[in-house]
Amino acid sequence: MIGLIGGSGVYEALDLDEEREEHVGTPFGAPSGPITVGEVYGREVAFLPRHGPNHEHSPTDVPYRANIYALKDLGVERVLATNAVGSLREDLPPRTLVVPDQLFDRTRHREYSFFRDGMVVHMGFAEPYCPHMSTHLADAAESADERTGADEGVERGGTYVCIEGPQYSTRAESEFYRAQGWDIVGMTAIPEAKLAREAELCYATVAGITDYDVWKEDSEVSLEEVLENAAANEERINATIGNAIETMPDERACDCEHALDGAINTPSEAIPDETRERVGLLADEYLD
């Protein structure tokens, strides 16, 4: 099963067959909303609205752990995500699509791991996005653009700096991010990518640029601008996701499905029973 995390436009564009709604409970609370499961291009997919059906969850308050756990519980192995982001580069104008390959975390108030309360896991995260899935998603974006004749480009790779929000950056912060050589700025990649890795899911994202953040002299980010450009990006993002699903390889050509192997630092016998029960879906095969 392929998981989709993003705005409702992705789900609406897919026209799923045999559609059903799943209400999944998790040890980490309720997900952002019901998960819509169905088939498209002969593949089963599960769509989850990150911010909720009515965009009621702010970036800080999205129930990221419940979202990823629920997708895992349904049988998802690979997750395609979408993000709206600001550009930190002159040559990446609004309405450009970016498939990032790196992350920098500037958040402060989020739950970053499934594993705590007597269980320590040191997860490798040098490559925060699944390289195989990112390549596939970038190929899908370029192929979709060729079919639709889009003028805007697709940027392969780049660093996504994730800020806490929900406020946009100050000018000083925006200029600092640019000085580091980072490429795009958003609010939702963390801890989603970290949790997907802990759940041994392949994870990649296609980000649609909506603005120049506030570093540019004539740029002052507004919700109106963001929403207008997000709507303009939607068609290309939907085409990208559809193309990625249609051409998805049957096998996972990466190490994501074994990410927990060797990462659990606490001996099995020392992990409290309550903790083991809570994370059993994720870690049972590695515990004695």
Residue 230 pLDDT:
86
Could you state, in order of their start, the residue ranges of all structural domains in the chain?
Answer: 83-286
- Tell me the pLDDT tens digit for each residue of 97-111: 999 999 999 999 999
State yes or no: pLDDT of 256 exceeds 80.
yes
Residues designated catalytic:
211, 213
Query: Taking residues 258-267, what's their average pLDDT?
Result: 97
Q: Which two tokens stand for residue 33?
A: 């909303």
The phi and psi torsions of 44 (rounded to 5 degrees) equal -85, 130
State yes or no: pLDDT of 218 exceeds 90.
no
State yes or no: pLDDT of 229 exceeds 90.
no
Residue 151 pLDDT:
63
State yes or no: pLDDT of 149 exceeds 80.
no
Q: Which CATH architecture has domain 83-286?
A: 3-Layer(aba) Sandwich (3.40)
Residue 273 pLDDT:
96
DSSP string of 246-279, one letter each residue: HT--SS--SSGGGTTTTTB-S-GGGS-HHHHHHT
In angstroms, rounded to a whole number, what is the distance separating the alpha carbons of residues 236 and 163?
Answer: 25
pTM of the model: 0.95
Burial tier of 3 (Cβ tally within 10 Å: 0-12, 13-18, 19+) = buried
